[in-house]
Structures are given as C-alpha cells and as structure tokens.
Structure 1
Amino acid sequence: MNYKVGKSSKRDLSDAVSEATAGLKSPKLILFFSDVKNFETYTIKIRDKFENSIILGSTTFAGFCRDGAFKDTLLVMGIEDGIECYADVLEEVDKYPLKYIDRVNNCIDKFNNITNTVCFEISTALISCEELVLSTLNSVLSEKNIPLFGGSAGDQGKAERTIISFNGTIYENACAFVIIKNLNGKIKLYRENIYKPTKHYFTATKVDVRNRIVYEYDNKPAAKVTAEALNTTLENLPKYLDSYPLGRIIGSDMYITANQMVTEGNGMSYHARVYNNSKMVLLEPDDYKNVISETIEKVKKDVPNPSLAIMINCLARSMLFENDGYLNEFAKKMSNALGNYIGFAGYGEQLNEQHFNQTMVLAVFE
C-alpha cells in the first residue's frame, strides 16, 4: 500500500499544509487531525490542494504517529493506492441521522464486492449523538457484515467545541464516514482496556437513556451506590470519577462508560448510554504499561507486516498518559506494532454496535 503520514506545526497555515502533505500526488483518501483553532483553515487549504481526493478531518486533543504525540500540529495521512473507498456524511446526527441513510447504501452499492471492507467514522462530540449514528450506520453495515470503527472528535479537553469536516465542508452536528476496502489483505480491529473490574457489580434499575443518566442501581440512588463502593462520601465522590469508570457488561464483553458528574437527586451522568437492566461493574486502573505491551505483542503476532494502521486513543487516556509524562513514549511505542500509523484523541470510541469511553481502538490493515 502506498501512503504517507506527514505533520507540521508551522505558524503559517499554508506552509503547514505544504509540509504535512509533501510527497502526496493524488491520494484516494486523506485523513487529517488538528487543534480546533486552525481546523477550518486547514480544511479549506487541503481541499483546494486535493480536489479529487476524499478528505475526512477532525479536531483532536492530540495527534499520534510513529514520531510521537503532537498538539497544535497538523497531522495528515494520504493513501495513494491499495484501497478502494467511498465516503459521505450523516447530518443532524443529534436527532435525525436516519434521514441520510441512503448515503450509506449509495457508498456500498459502488463496490463490486465487499470482502476485506471496513467503515471508519468520525462524529462531532458533546451532543450525545454517537448511539444514534451507530444505529443508523449499522442498520446497513451489519446486514453486509461490514465492521465499523471510529471515534468522536476532540478538543483541548475543555469540552467546548469539536468540529469535523468532509471534502472541504465544516460540520458541528454530523458524522463523516468512509467505507474502505483493503485490496491487499484483511483488516483487523482491536479494543484495548486499561481498567480492570473490582468486586462491585450493579444493575441499572432507573435510567434516562437519552440523556445518559442512571438514577438508581439496584433500586438505590446511583451516586450513593457508587460512593459506597469507593468507600468515600457523596461530597468526595467527584474526585474519584476520572479514575474509576464503570464497565457495561454485554455477554462476555465489557465496555467502559466514563463518569460525567453527579446529577440532581443523586443520579450519575455518563459519557455513553446505559440501558435499563444493564449489568455494570465498577472499574479500577490496571497497570497500563503492561496492558499496552501485551496489545503490541498481540498485534505483531496477528499482523506481522501491517501496511497501514489507524488509532483512536480516548482523550481521557491521553490526558492520563500526559500527566504521567508518558504520552509521547506511548505514541512511539505503538509504532512497534503499527509501523507508520496515524491516530487521534476524542471524546469517545466506537466499535461495531458499541459506543464507549477511556479505550483505545485500532484498525490494522494487512
């Protein structure tokens, strides 16, 4: 597969685009990530330079590649060949993404066959749209057995504004998606979790699904149940919320649900939906360096010669690594398994039917 990953932190944004896209001729697909401040200008300049390419962009907390983790930097991946791909956008995703479902069908209909195909999507964050986006995309993709991976856009961690772009147009209430066929082999998807279950299990018994609030676990106020499990008081509970997320158990799988805050009436609000009767478990931090090493070994064993890789590393994980002085080392270390990859950090991760948080998702192309 012929592709390039480039980056630039030049102050002059035209120069930055030139540096980050140096060597790209006529890429079939461009993915780019940057800070919020310069994103709209980058969108227009990249579009003007590559009018015939499919271009998806997102704001991010940090961009990742084999050279490290970068903020206030434009990061670009351009894929020249080795793939076939078609893309579009779902709009009004906080309410009516289903109105745009024909755009998904139209993309799939362009392929002669859909073996070794995956859907990559980026949604705007902070509008609780992810579950609606997934149900819309998967209503088409799951029938065709096309797996999905993606992430919600990011910002500097202040939860103020996230933006995506598709082919030069800016969106703040949308999901851009691209269906990619690997012409050279399979595509493997991975999900990494650096939290482990405690002994505290609950069942959600009173829930506001749409607003992502659980009012009761096992018929008791959710915040009180959580505080008790953490052996702390309601007043001190907020201090623990970043480090002790919950796991939503589905069959033998567990998906991380990040705490947002304690609500009125001692409910708990989250960054992903919890459904009535969901089985939940309180999580605690695992030895994350150990977990990451295991992931790298697994990927290397499964895909010894990756041609391309895309990573979504949750914003909360990225902030944790940054506070530990590990973020740059983490990005470099991942290239042991992924080679010359690209990644971004946002407010949520998606894999197939599930939206979750505080996780890393990888797509590795053979």
Structure 2
Amino acid sequence: MRDYIGIGLSDDIKESVEQATDGLMHPKVIFVFAEYSKFEEAICLMQEKYPNTPIVGTTGYCFANKNIIRNNIVIWAINEGIDVEVGVLENISKFPIKDIKSLEENIGKINAGNDNTVCIEFCTGAEEKIVSTINSAISKKNIPLIGGTSQGANDKGIKCVSLNGKVYLDTCVYALIKNLNGKIKTYSENIYKEKSGNFIATKVDVQNRRILELNGKKAGQVYCETLGITKNQINDCVLTNPLARVIGKEDFVIAIKLVDDEDSLNCYKRVNQNDVLNILELQNYKKAIQNTLDRIKADFANISFIFSIDCIYRFLLFESMNFTKEYCNIMGSIGQHIGIVGEGEQYINQHVNQTMICVVFE
C-alpha cells in the first residue's frame, strides 16, 4: 500500500489546498481534514481538482508527519493497494437506518476477507445510533469500525462532515477500505485506571446523557466524595478523572461535560439505567502509549501506515502537560502516521470518550 500526506499552511485556502496536494496524482480515496471555517471551501476546491475520486471530509485538529496541525488543511490519500466504497447515513439524530440498504450494498461490493477491511466513519453526533446502525451491517462480515465525531462547529454549535464535494449536517460519512496486499487491524488505548469501586446508575436521563444518581445518591455528590473535592473543583478533574462504563473486564471511558444545578453529571456518552460505572484516574500514560505501540509492532512486521483518532479531552490533557509534540513524535516513530482529533470516538460496537483508537495497514 502507498499513502500520501499533504499539509497546506497558507492562510489563503486555495493556495493551502495546492500546497497540500502538490504531487498527489491518481489517488484511490482522499480524506480532507480542516479547521471548521476553512472546511467548506477546501472541500469544494478538492472536488474540482479530483472529481473522479471519492473524497471524505471532517473538521478538527490533526497529527501529520509528526506535525500538529490546528488551523490548516491536511490531505490524506491512499494511492494504491486498496478497494474502497464510500457512502452516507443522513438524518442520524432521528432515523439513520433509512440508508442501511446502500451501506449493505457497499459491503457486498467490497467483498471483505478475513482481517483485511475496515469501516472508517466521521459523524456530527448521534454516536450511539451510528454505532448500532453501522454494526448491524458490517458485523455480518466481521468488519471493524473506527470513527470520530467532528471537532469544531459554527457559532450555533452546528457540526458538519462531507462526501464528494457536498457538506452535510446531521450525517455520518464512511469509507469501507479493503487492503489488497495484507491485513488491517484496529486498536484502542485507555490511559486511565479504576480509582473507585463500582457504582450503579440508579437514575439517568438517557436522551440528554445525564447521570442523576449513582447508588441512589446525587451523581455529582458521589463524584466529589470519591475524589475528595468540592463541586467547584469538578471542572478541574474532568481531564484526569473521567467515568467509565464497566462491561465485563473492560472500561469504556465517559467524559464529563459539566455538573448542573441538580448535581447531575452531564456527559458526552450515553449512560443507561442500571449501567455499572466507575470513576477513573490517570495512570502512567507514557507507558500506556508505549504498550500500544509494542502491541502494534508485535502484530506487524511491515507497517504501511497508521491512522488514529484522539479525543479532544486527551489532546487538552496532553497540552496541559506540554506533552503534545512528544506524543506526536511517539506516534510517528513506528511508521507513517496521520491522526485527527475528534469529540468522540466510535470503536467496534461502542461510542467512547477520552480514548485513542487507530487502524494499522500492513
């Protein structure tokens, strides 16, 4: 396989697109990552330049060639060694399953084999619905899912993604990619460990992702008592002490958005009635990251490239520790790496927060 990473650094969007695509010829698929205010124009320019190539886009920060890109345009393309099918699920907040037939048709076209295909998606929200809808189709062929919620929005909080020159709201765009020359494998990374015993979510507002009570007590109160903090200190702890949904031996991280006037915890991941939850604490994050890279190196003798999705909360945590640049270098140390920063991660059959997920191509 052969991929291409281009970075446009000019403030002029047209010039930035030209910089980012200098030398890019005959790509099989293109991904466009850009800051929100530059996104729509960049997408239109890319469609004009590559009208016959599938082009998938989302907004947010990037890691590219060991660089941190915050306000510019990044192009990632795969030039050879793949089959690809792309599509959209629209109206995802209400009825994403209406587009399931086209997804199933694309799955049939891609003809996935064992461990050689992945579904990469970008969405504007409704993550739990997206995960269940896509998995209802791709799980039949054992295709793993890796995806991210677009990072950034307009002044009304509206997010967007794109496919083939069209910008969509309330939508998920996806690419099914089959490696013709080797395997594909996905990984997830949790840099936290359990701090508390288990709690039961005894009262929740599922629709609004609010946890009202844990073990019959106000959720905010339980969180404060466990960490030995006051309510006013909760915002100082959300990066280091998220929650987790416990399923078997796995922890699926839940980011805390805020504590409201009712002492409820407002979150970025849905919590259901009677879910088992835990409060986490930061572990040795450098060791956790190295463990992930060691797993990848053990699984792959030859890495073509790595695509990762990091949570914005992880990014902000690393920024607060002056670790972001070092992290970028570490991720690029075992092979060509391109990554984006999202506001939520979709992995296999779960929507999670404060997690890094990645796919490795042989």
How far has the Cα of 1:66 moved from its partner?
Answer: 2.4
Partner of 1:123: 123
Output the amino acid matched with 1:168. Answer: G
Output the amino acid matched with 1:72. Answer: N
Alpha-carbon distance in 2 for matches of 1:74, 1:111 = 29
Partner of 1:41: 41
Provide closer, same or farther for how the CA distance between residues 257 and 48 of structure 1 changes in structure 2, counting only shifts above 3 A: same
Partner of 1:29: 29
Partner of 1:227: 224
SS of match in other structure, 1:199: coil
Provide closer, same or farther for how the CA distance between residues 239 and 157 of structure 1 changes in structure 2, counting only shifts above 3 A: farther
Q: 2:270 aligns with which of 269, 273, 291?
A: 273
Output the amino acid matched with 2:346. Answer: Q
Alpha-carbon distance in 2 for matches of 1:282, 1:112 = 42
Q: String of CA shifts for 1:36-71, please: whole Å, max 9, x gaps.
A: 1111110000111111111111110x2112232111
How far has the Cα of 1:263 moved from its partner?
Answer: 2.6
Partner of 1:244: 241
Q: 2:260 aligns with which of 260, 263, 273?
A: 263
Range 267-276 or range 108-117, more displaced:
108-117
How far has the Cα of 1:157 moved from its partner?
Answer: 12
1:107-256 alignment runs, 5 A limit = 107-115=106-114, 116-125=116-125, 129-155=126-152, 160-256=157-253
Task: List alignment gaps of at least 5 residues for structure 1.
Answer: none
Partner of 1:98: 97
How far has the Cα of 1:215 moved from its partner?
Answer: 1.1
Q: String of CA shifts for 1:5-61, please: whole Å, max 9, x gaps.
A: 11111122222111111221121110121111111110000111111111111110x
Output the amino acid matched with 1:85. Answer: V
Task: List alignment gaps of at least 5 residues for structure 2.
Answer: none
8 A Cα contact 1:65 1:332, kept in partner? no
Output the amino acid matched with 1:253. Answer: E
Q: String of CA shifts for 1:253-291, please: whole Å, max 9, x gaps.
A: 111000011134222111001111111110011121222
Partner of 2:290: 293
Matched, 1:54 2:33: no
Share of identical aligned residues, percent? 37
8 A Cα contact 1:84 1:180, kept in partner? yes
Range 270-279 or range 237-246, more displaced:
237-246
How far has the Cα of 1:147 moved from its partner?
Answer: 1.0
Matched, 1:74 2:73: yes
SS of match in other structure, 2:198: strand
Matched, 1:363 2:359: yes
Q: String of CA shifts for 1:77-96, please: whole Å, max 9, x gaps.
A: 11111110101011111111
Partner of 2:340: 344
8 A Cα contact 1:67 1:331, kept in partner? yes
Output the amino acid matched with 1:17. Answer: V
Provide closer, same or farther for how the CA distance between residues 295 and 232 of structure 1 changes in structure 2, counting only shifts above 3 A: same
Q: String of CA shifts for 1:128-179, please: whole Å, max 9, x gaps.
A: x000111111111112211111111112899944321111111121000111
Alpha-carbon distance in 2 for matches of 1:56, 1:281 = 36
Output the amino acid matched with 2:195. Answer: T
8 A Cα contact 2:110 2:176, kept in partner? no
8 A Cα contact 1:68 1:330, kept in partner? no
Output the amino acid matched with 2:175. Answer: V
SS of match in other structure, 2:258: strand
Tell me how large the CA RMSD over aligned residues is. 1.7
Alpha-carbon distance in 1 for matches of 2:301, 2:72 = 30
How far has the Cα of 1:239 moved from its partner?
Answer: 2.9
8 A Cα contact 1:131 1:355, kept in partner? yes
Output the amino acid matched with 2:338. Answer: I
Alpha-carbon distance in 1 for matches of 2:113, 2:58 = 26
Normalising by structure 2, we get a TM-score of 0.95
Range 29-38 or range 291-300, more displaced:
291-300
Partner of 1:307: 304
8 A Cα contact 1:26 1:52, kept in partner? no
8 A Cα contact 1:66 1:334, kept in partner? no
Alpha-carbon distance in 2 for matches of 1:36, 1:102 = 31
8 A Cα contact 2:239 2:314, kept in partner? no
Length, aligned pairs only: 361
Q: 2:327 aligns with which of 305, 317, 330?
A: 330
Range 219-228 or range 160-169, more displaced:
160-169
Provide closer, same or farther for how the CA distance between residues 298 and 112 of structure 1 changes in structure 2, counting only shifts above 3 A: closer
Output the amino acid matched with 1:354. Answer: Q
